[in-house]
Amino acid sequence: MTPLLFDSYDLAGLRLPNRIVMAPMTRVRSNAEGLATPSMAAYYAQRATAGLIVSEGVQPSLLGQSNPFTPGLHTDAQVTSWKPVVTAVHASGGRIFAQIMHGGRISHPDTTGLQPVGPSAIAARDAMVFSPTGPQPAPVPRALSTAEAAQEALSYAAAARRAVEAGFDGVELHGANGYLIGQFLSTSANQRTDGYGGSVAGRIRFAVEAVAATVDAIGAARVGIRLSPGAGIWDAIDEDVPELYGALLRELARLGPAYVHLEATTDEETLVGLRRAWPGALLVNPSNPMGPAPTDRKRAEHWLDLGADLISFGRAFLANPDLVERLRRDLPLDEADQATFYTGGDTGYLTYTHYRY
């Protein structure tokens, strides 16, 4: 029998009261030092009825920061700033993983004071990246050496240790949407000739090492990874998607992370094939992040029918802090105001309201 959205789920020992997950969404509401704020604590606590919350992307280092005013987990002060956020979620009955996001080449020296890095010295074509003075053309990154690539893979594990110190229930590695892990998977961004490029085995190596290090650091039950097969976001083009991601999932299965989180960025047949290839818990976001329509209950239930264990909602959760109850009662959903996604401040952040039941 197909599970329902509102059935509980045991995620590697963490009991989720429902199968509805709040997807990670960049909101640029931290301060200039990458510290989490009281508004962020209120924002996540408002949405604590989710079976699981996955936070916005959190940079594991200054070098890994993609956008201005995004939070980090690489200083003691940042760890301390996250503790009230996690405490607020737990006090409201929720569970929260930190998404660890290394931007790689999707960054700018005006944001970090550093030249961005990537698998190869290739800029994202026709891409405008965020900077303190507004969008700017994506710069040419510095290609990581073989030794540096291995060290950047370890940066996810270091941030994961700090996430556990801050009280998070676990972490999700951001391997999707054209950021550093996705850049290594890509044939357009990764034109290396060493062990981190070329063949499928070479292109998946960075992702596997990042997950392996994180599993070693905090335990497999606390680790997930998000992937966007075939998305092409930020000019990170995947080739041979079934082969590439099938090989990656086989290697990840040996490490036993708590879940894989797939975005619906390729055709359904390919995604169903990846479901068959992955023996563990599968979290699916049915809405393409570049598409016009957010996930709704119909799409969520369709993917449960196809074998997903958990369903993530992004924009729908942004605009509906009481999304779980609205879905349960088939109530109308408010639409998110895209103009306030990245503007800072509490408008369009804390101003969405519960349905008048």
Cβ distance 282 to 275 under 8 Å? yes
Choosing from 43, 179, 196, 352, which is the catalytic residue?
179
Using an 8 Å Cβ cutoff, are 120 and 184 in contact?
A: no
What backbone torsions phi and psi does residue 312 show, to the nearest 5 degrees?
-100, 145
Per the annotation, the verdict on 179 as an active-site residue is yes
**Nearest partner of 44 among 4, 11, 88, judged by Cα:** 88
At residue 26, the 3 state secondary structure works out as coil
Residue 128 phi/psi, 5-degree rounding, is: -110, 120
Rg, C-alpha atoms of the chain: 19
DSSP three-state, residue 302: helix
Amino acid in position 298: K
Which tokens in the block code for residue 38? 């009281």
Q: Cα separation of 198 and 190, whole Å?
A: 8
Instruction: Give, for 318, the enclosing helix (H) or strand (E).
Output: helix 315-319
CA atoms within 13 A on the CB side of 142: 12
User: Which residues are known to be catalytic?
Assistant: 179
